[in-house]
Chain A
Amino acid sequence: MRGLRLLAISCVTFAGLVGSAAAHVTLEQEEAAADSTYKAVLRVGHGCEGAATTALRVQIPEGLIVAKPMPKPGWQVELKEGDYAKSYDYFDTPVSKGVKEIAWTGGNLPDNFYDEFVFRVRVTSFEPGTRIHLPVVQECGSAADRWIEIPEAGKSEDDYEYPAPGFTVTEPKEH
């Protein structure tokens, strides 16, 4: 009996742990070192309330530079460029503008299928411990789920219905 109870508790705890995070559009890698290149893998596990996903758009926040999407068969990839708020040093080259938004469009990902959307980005010198959020709009035909909620101070992503996927910046690697 004790074993069964333990099993039940474990399952509930497990479901609770993965549950809130798993229901959303999330990043595979939850950590990235400052001053490093990060491979962002956006995981899409469901459509918009049953409807198939037809487009995914991600906003590249300030401080993430030279973003490059990985081509994806069956999807058109579009880039929106713009000026950064300031100039960044990228291997001794000043960079002041670049990709601000990546959009994968024209695809069809049914609700009962899973897929990943990949891009690479340079994480500039953030303070270790900083949480960076990548707002994502998931379009399903005319409907859309906006994974754009960034937690206010004192709250976590779990407190929101549509949290933006995020990762935490860690100490820079030794060169």
Chain B
Amino acid sequence: MPRAHTRFGASVRLLALVLLALLASPAAAWAHAALQSANPAPGSVNAAAPDRIGLIFNEPVQLLSLRLIDAAGREHSPASAPDVRDGQVLWPLPDRLPDGRYLVSWRISSLDGHIIGGTFTFAVGAAVGTPPAVTTVDENHGPVLALHAVARLFLLLAVGTALFRLLLAPQGMAPALHRATRWLAVAGVATLSLFVGAEGALRVGLPITGLLSGDAMRAAFGASNMPLRGLSALGMILLALNGGRLWQGFGIACAIAGMGDSGHVLAVLPSGVGQGLMMLHGFAAALWIGAIAPLRSALTRDAGTETLVLFRRFQSCGAWAMAATLASGLVLAWLLLPRLADLWQSDYGLRLTAKLAAVAAMLAIAGVNRLWLTRRALGSRPQLRGVLSTTLELDLIAAILATVLAVGLSIGPPPAATLDHAIADDAYAATLSFSPGKVGDNHLVIALRAKAGAPLDPKEVQLRLSAPGIETIARKAERIATGRYEVRDLPLWLTGPWQVEIGLLIDDFTRRRLRTELTLAP
């Protein structure tokens, strides 16, 4: 007993000494641990897989947790415990990490008992850095866009006229149709060449007048869609020459390949499928659009039974063309627009809505003609022929408008699918849009709305995210427009639930916090 007593007395003295030392050395007690460096470095891309994770703090720390997970949320933490020596944490990785991106989440206690944590990412393998941003060729240049629209219009009309001649083979109209096809095809090849050159000039940063320069041509011919455009030009040349039916069919097939040269859908569907869908859409649209002018000229030439038969025959195959155009168009819209509301809420959706309005006008005209006007104008009531001719003219204008608006869709990309969260307090309302809103790297756009009196652009917008087992990911949001901020490449590799906090620095001394919870779909 006396020995125990003595030991207890010694302990008390030691305790007193420790307390005294703690009190007497405020510098030590006030110190604040911070991560000074990490290996692999946060955000780094490493050619070789690291054999350990190293963290260096500015003072001795006690490690509370350390986790290593990959982009699929799988645990890669080795079984062995990390080696902690003063402010250094070393964690050997016995198994070679497969190529990919990794997230390190750490939590420590400093000398003073203050607990801090953080999360950073690194990548292994040269090819798996941050995914390259989708390169959008800036087609937003008016003249280039106009050339594209005119080239596309000539292509559709040339193919459509040739199809009309091939499928309906109207008596006595063949020479006129061939002449029309030839001019449309020649104009199509000419405008396509100008467009390709202009786009090449744009790619190498030349003004549009540089479209015939060697650099522009090289850039144009180097583009991945050049083979399709070349094929399209070849097809139009075949259409311009007056070959047999087989050659005409071959020319049509080649020419319509040019429809697959562009479109946002190419980024969504596997290679080949997107092009095929665009070609189908273009083929059906050409059959529909290309028939309007020939029908009108048939009406002016001769309004007898022959023309009535022609109209009847067109109406049966035209119905299929319309159905195929609409069906393929709806599939394209469904693939590109994540939500119905995007039709009126996004720029892309509004352009698409305008195009759909033109198509709806065409459909309305086709419906009136088919159900009511054609039969009467070509039969019992010849005085209606003028009206029929006018409706066909309007139909053609709507078709041209729809084609131009379709090319206009290339101005900007369709909206990305997002997961939206709204949060508000008494001064601010914020909408957080995570895209794609699924487990993985996410791009966050924060849209702020200030209620009465509050400034719309705070001095700083901070984002803090954490999930069970994942320490805070803190990022500063970048301002992209008034009241709009973004955070790129957020490694949200787990479903969560994620605690999300937006910190708005109103002035030097005031920070408002808006919080929400988020669970991501796998």
Task: Scan A1-38; emit 1 where CB is below 8 A from any B CB, else 0.
Answer: 11110110011001110111011000000000000000
Classify chain A's interface size.
20 to 34
Other than the known A1-B7, A148-B511, what 5 A-B pairs have Cβ atoms closer than 8 Å? A3-B11, A7-B11, A7-B18, A19-B113, A148-B509
The answer to whether B510 has its CB under 8 Å from any CB of chain A is yes
For A111, the closest partner residue in chain B by CB is B58
For A17, the closest partner residue in chain B by CB is B113
For A59, the closest partner residue in chain B by CB is B509
Chain A nearest Cβ from B510, distance in angstroms: 7
Task: Scan B270-290; emit 1 where CB is below 8 A from any A CB, else 0.
Answer: 000000000000000000000
The answer to whether A119 has its CB under 8 Å from any CB of chain B is no
Beyond A10-B15, A45-B31, whether A16 also contacts B113 by CB under 8 A is yes
The answer to whether B212 has its CB under 8 Å from any CB of chain A is no
Give A135-170 interface residues, CB cut-off 8 Å to B.
Answer: 135, 137, 146, 148-149, 161
Give B23-82 interface residues, CB cut-off 8 Å to A.
Answer: 26-27, 29-32, 34, 36, 58
Q: B residues within 8 Å of A by Cβ?
A: 4, 7-12, 14-15, 18-19, 22, 26-27, 29-32, 34, 36, 58, 110-114, 116, 505, 508-511
Contact A23 B505 (CB under 8 A): no
Contacts of A137 in B (CB 8 A): 508-509
Beyond A14-B22, A18-B112, A146-B511, whether A50 also contacts B58 by CB under 8 A is yes
Residue in B9, B14, B29, B508 whose CB lies within 8 Å of A59: B508
Specify which of A6, A19, A57 lies most central, judged by the most chain B CB atoms within 10 Å of its CB.
Answer: A19
Contacts of A135 in B (CB 8 A): 508-510
Contact B511 A14 (CB under 8 A): no
Q: Provide 25 A-B residue pairs closer than 8 Å at the C-beta atoms, listed in order of the A residue.
A: A3-B9, A3-B11, A3-B12, A6-B11, A6-B15, A15-B112, A18-B29, A20-B114, A22-B112, A23-B31, A23-B110, A45-B26, A45-B29, A46-B30, A49-B32, A50-B58, A57-B508, A114-B27, A135-B508, A137-B509, A146-B508, A148-B508, A148-B509, A148-B511, A161-B116
For B29, the closest partner residue in chain A by CB is A22
Contacts of A93 in B (CB 8 A): none
CA distance A11 to B14 in the complex (A): 11
The answer to whether A113 has its CB under 8 Å from any CB of chain B is yes
Specify which of B9, B36, B111, B113 lies most central, judged by the most chain A CB atoms within 10 Å of its CB.
Answer: B113
Contact A50 B34 (CB under 8 A): yes
Q: How many residue pairs at the A-B interface have CB separations less than 8 Å?
A: 91
Contact A19 B114 (CB under 8 A): yes
CA distance A23 to B12 in the complex (A): 27
For A13, the closest partner residue in chain B by CB is B113
Contact B112 A146 (CB under 8 A): no
CA distance A165 to B26 in the complex (A): 17
Contact A3 B8 (CB under 8 A): yes
Listed from nearest, the 9 A-B pairs whose CB atoms lie closest are: A45-B30, A19-B113, A3-B11, A135-B509, A49-B34, A3-B8, A23-B114, A59-B509, A15-B113
Beyond A3-B12, A6-B11, whether A23 also contacts B27 by CB under 8 A is no
Contacts of B32 in A (CB 8 A): 23, 45-46, 49
Contacts of B511 in A (CB 8 A): 146, 148-149
Contact B31 A20 (CB under 8 A): no
Contact A14 B19 (CB under 8 A): yes
Beyond A18-B112, A23-B112, whether A11 also contacts B18 by CB under 8 A is yes
Contacts of A20 in B (CB 8 A): 113-114
Contacts of A23 in B (CB 8 A): 30-32, 110, 112, 114
Chain A nearest Cβ from B106, distance in angstroms: 15
For A100, the closest partner residue in chain B by CB is B509
Beyond A20-B114, A135-B509, A148-B509, whether A114 also contacts B30 by CB under 8 A is yes
Residue in B31, B113, B116, B505 whose CB lies within 8 Å of A146: B505
Contacts of B29 in A (CB 8 A): 18, 22, 45
Chain B nearest Cβ from A3, distance in angstroms: 3
CA distance A4 to B18 in the complex (A): 13
Contact A22 B15 (CB under 8 A): no
CA distance A81 to B214 in the complex (A): 67
For B472, the closest partner residue in chain A by CB is A161
Give A45-60 interface residues, CB cut-off 8 Å to B.
Answer: 45-46, 49-50, 57, 59
CA distance A71 to B9 in the complex (A): 48
Chain A nearest Cβ from B171, distance in angstroms: 84
Contact B8 A2 (CB under 8 A): yes
CA distance A49 to B68 in the complex (A): 24
Contacts of B30 in A (CB 8 A): 22-23, 43, 45-46, 114
